[in-house]
Amino acid sequence: MRTEHRVLILSIVLALALWFSDALLHRFFAQGMLPAAWDPTRPEHDILIRSLAAAYVLVFGVVIAVTVFQRGKAEKEREELILRLQDALAHVKTLRGLLPICANCKRIRDDQGYWRSVEAYVRDHSEAEFTHGLCPECASKLYPEYVGEDQTPHREGESAGGGSTQGGGSA
């Protein structure tokens, strides 16, 4: 049960209790079951009933104010969460589905039918950035003079073991 419902039920119960106690006081006095000091028409009784009613209104007002404050706070937190989620969603770009890619040059066909490099396509459709390098296999195919037998790139004039050779030849 929500807090607002509990507050409403408690308020109704308190109001009914106040009304019922006043009605019982009048009935018991009318039947002669109460002494004259408890006469509901006396000013003291009127002050007591008004004091109880004022206390009830004060308590009810405080409870309503607290409930409204809590609801406003919860609404503000919910709105902040929605904004954070919308911001996060705006920054998420996910590639999905099938990508038509050239079997030879590896270019990708975009939605407009243009063939674009993989780097350009992924950069435009995600938050990824590319750096370029060579894997050991490609490095040995493209630059065999710079890659030793252990597939570790080395500078010209150095052997695969890390030492330099005389005259620019390999040892």
Is 147 buried (19+), middle (13-18) or exposed (0-12) by CB count in 10 A?
buried
For 68-95, how does the pLDDT look when each residue is reduced to its tens digit (9 = 90+)?
888 889 999 999 999 999 888 877 666 6
Would the pTM count as exceeding 0.85?
no
Backbone φ and ψ of 158, nearest 5°: -110, 145
* The predicted structure's pLDDT at residue 150: 60
Is 123 buried (19+), middle (13-18) or exposed (0-12) by CB count in 10 A?
middle
Rg of the chain over Cα atoms, rounded to whole angstroms, equals 43
CB-based contact 123:131 (threshold 8 Å): no
- Enumerate the domain spans of the chain: 3-80
For 25-79, how does the pLDDT look when each residue is reduced to its tens digit (9 = 90+)?
788 888 888 887 777 777 777 777 777 777 777 877 787 888 888 888 999 999 9
Residue 19 banded pLDDT, cuts 50, 70, 90: confident
